Amino acid sequence: MNTIHNNGENDQTLNDGLEKLGRAYGQLEQDQPPEMLDQAILNSAHRAVEKKSGWKQFGWMHGLATAAVFVLAFTVILDQRQLAPEFKEDVLLNTPSRLNKETELKRPSLDKISESTAETESTTEYQQKTMMRDAPVSAAAALEPLSEESAVRSMRIELNETVVQAAAAEKREQADMDDSMPKKLQKAVMLDEADLLSESVSMDAASMQVAPAAAAPAISAMKTRGRMDSTIEQELQAIIELKLSGDESWVMELEAFVERNPDYTLPDELKH
Amino acid sequence: MQEPTDEQLMHSYANGNAKAFDQLYARHRSALYRYFNRQVNNASTANDLYQGAWEKIIKSRSKYRKSAPFTAWMYRIAHNHLVDYYRRLKPDACIETDVLPDQQDGPAQGAISGEQNEQLRAEISALPAEQRNTLLLKLETGLKMEEIASVTGVSKETVKSRLRYALDKLKRSLVE
C-alpha cells in the first residue's frame, strides 16, 4: 500500500517536473528546417505518389498495348503462313507422326514408279535403296521433335521424290521408244537411276529453302539432262565391257547406240 | 468545417493525394526538426537526419494503418533512424542502463528561467542519448508514456526512469 502511494507520488512529482520543464522548453528558440529542405521533401513526396498514380492511370493502356502487340504478332504469323510455299508450311506444321503418315501415303506412288520402270531383278535393288533412303528419315521424324534439321530433311524428301518421279517418267518414255534395248543396258539404266537417288539426297538444302516449289521443276530438268548423259556413258561403258570380254555382239550394240545417238562422239576404245 | 486528423491525412496521402502530405508536413515539420536538432546539436547532421526520416515516412506510406496514431508511428520511424545514425557513428556503443534513484525530487521551483534558455539547451544536449531521446519525445511530441515506450521499444517504467534521471540532472545543473 505504501509502495503504491510512493509510486503515485513519484508519478505526480515527475509530471510536475515535466510540466515546468515543458514551459521553459517552449521558450527556447523555435528551430525551423531550411526552406530548401522543405521543398526537397515535399517534391520527393509528390513525385512518389505521382509516379504511382501515373502507373495507375496508364495501367489499362499498358494492358491494351500489350494485347495489341500480341494480336499484331498473331496476324503477321498467319499472313506469313498463307504466303509461304505449301510444302514448307506442311513441314512447319507437321508433327513427327503426321510426317510418318505422309511418308506412308507417298510410298505407294514410289512403288508404282519402281514397278513400271524396273521389271527386272534390279527392281529389288532400287526398292532397297528407296527404303534405305526413307527409313532413317521416318524413324528420325518419329523420334525427334520437329527441328530445323528435320524440316530440311523433309524438304529433301519432297524434292527427291519430284526428281525421281520425273526421271522415272522419262525413263519409261525412253524404254517405250526403244523396246529393243538389251537387257544389260536396261540394267545399267536401273543402276543409274539408283545412283541418281543417292545423288539427289545430297542436294543443297539451302537452295531449297529459298524457293523450293519454284526450284523443283528446274532442278528436275537439270537432273534429267544429267541423267541422260550419264545413261549414255553407262551404255558406252557396257559396250566397252562387252568388247573387252570378247563378246562379238558389242558391234551390234554399238551400231544400235550410234543410231540412237548419232551426234554423240564415241570414245577412243570403241573407234575402229 | 473540422480539420482532418493526422491519421486521415496520412491515409489520404497513401492513396495518392499529394496535398494531404503538404498539410501533414506543415503540422509536424518544426517538432520533428527540433527533435533531431536537439539530439545531435549540429545543424548539418540534423538536416540529414530530418530529410532521411521524412524519406522513410514517404516510402513507408503504404504500410501505415489508419488505426495507428500517426505521431507515434512517425516518431518510431524517426527514432529508428536516429538509432541507426548512432550505430553508424559508434558501432560498438553499449546501451546505458538506467537505475531509478531512491528519492526523486522534481526540478526546483524557478530553476528554469528565460535567461537560462541557452543553458537549458546545452544541458539537454549534454544528457545521455537515451535520456535525451526520451525527454525530447516527451517535450516535443506530447506523447503519453506508453506511446514513448512503444516508440523507443522499452517498457513504460524505463521511460519514467529515464525521464526522472533527465529531470534530476537538469535541475542540478541549472541550480549550480
Q: What is the pLDDT of residues B120-154, one digit of tens each?
A: 888 888 888 889 999 999 888 888 888 999 888 99
Enumerate the CATH 1.10.10.10 domain ranges in chain B, comma separated: 97-176
Q: In chain B, which residues have their Cβ closer than 8 Å to the Cβ of A18?
A: 138-139, 163, 167
Residue A40 has pLDDT above 90, yes or no: yes
Predicted confidence band of residue B76 (pLDDT cuts 50, 70, 90): very high
Residue A205 has pLDDT above 50, yes or no: no
CA atoms within 13 A on the CB side of B49: 28
Predicted confidence band of residue A73 (pLDDT cuts 50, 70, 90): very high
A49·B47 Cβ contact <8 A: no
Predicted confidence band of residue A137 (pLDDT cuts 50, 70, 90): very low
Q: What is the reported pLDDT for B124?
A: 87
If we measure between CA atoms, which residue out of A104, A83, A100, A209 comes closest to residue A155?
A209
A29 in any annotated domain: no
A22 in any annotated domain: no
Fill in the DSSP letter of residue A128: H
A36 in any annotated domain: no
Identify residues of A whose CB sits under 8 angstroms from chain B CBs. 10-11, 13-14, 16-18, 20-25, 27-34, 37-38, 40-42, 44-46, 48-50, 52-53, 56
CATH tag, B97-176: 1.10.10.10
The mean pLDDT of chain B is 82
User: Any idea how long chain A is?
Assistant: 272
Predicted confidence band of residue B30 (pLDDT cuts 50, 70, 90): very high
User: Higher pLDDT residue, B143 or B175?
Assistant: B143
**Alpha-carbon distance B92 to nearest alpha carbon in chain A (angstroms):** 31
Mean pLDDT for A90-110 is 54
Q: In chain B, which residues have their Cβ closer than 8 Å to the Cβ of A49?
A: 13, 16-18, 21
Q: What is the reported pLDDT for A72?
A: 92
A41·B55 Cβ contact <8 A: yes
How many independent structural domains does chain A possess? Answer: 1
Identify which of A16, A34, A44 has the shortest CB distance to residue B47.
A34
Q: In chain B, which residues have their Cβ closer than 8 Å to the Cβ of A3?
A: none
A14 in any annotated domain: no
Q: What is the reported pLDDT for A36?
A: 92
Residue A1 has pLDDT above 60, yes or no: no
Q: Report the range of poorest mean pLDDT among A141-145, A193-197, A256-260, B165-169.
A: A141-145
Q: In chain A, which residues have their Cβ closer than 8 Å to the Cβ of B164?
A: 10, 14
Predicted confidence band of residue B100 (pLDDT cuts 50, 70, 90): very low
Residue A260 has pLDDT above 50, yes or no: yes
Residues 6 or more apart in contact with residue A122 via CB below 8 angstroms: A187, A190, A191, A194
Chains A, B: CB pairs < 8 Å: 101
Enumerate the CATH 1.10.1740.10 domain ranges in chain B, comma separated: 1-93
User: Any idea how long chain B is?
Assistant: 176
Percent over 90 (pLDDT), chain A: 8
Task: List the single residue in A with minimal CA-CA distance to B25.
Answer: A42
Range B1-93 has CATH code 1.10.1740.10: yes
Q: What is the reported pLDDT for A255?
A: 87
Fill in the DSSP letter of residue A95: -
Cα(B72)–Cα(A83) distance, integer angstroms: 70
Rounded alpha-carbon distances, angstroms, from residue B46 to A37, B21, B72: 11, 21, 20
Task: List the single residue in A with minimal CA-CA distance to B156.
Answer: A11
User: Higher pLDDT residue, B115 or A245?
Assistant: A245
A147 in any annotated domain: yes
Is residue B123 within 8 A of residue A5, CB to CB? The reply is: no
A17 in any annotated domain: no
Task: List the single residue in A with minimal CA-CA distance to B48.
Answer: A37
Cα(A132)–Cα(A195) distance, integer angstroms: 13
Predicted confidence band of residue A154 (pLDDT cuts 50, 70, 90): low
Residue B23 has pLDDT above 60, yes or no: yes
E strand or H helix at A96, and its extent? Answer: helix A96-117
Q: In chain B, which residues have their Cβ closer than 8 Å to the Cβ of A38?
A: 25, 29
Q: In chain B, which residues have their Cβ closer than 8 Å to the Cβ of A50?
A: 18
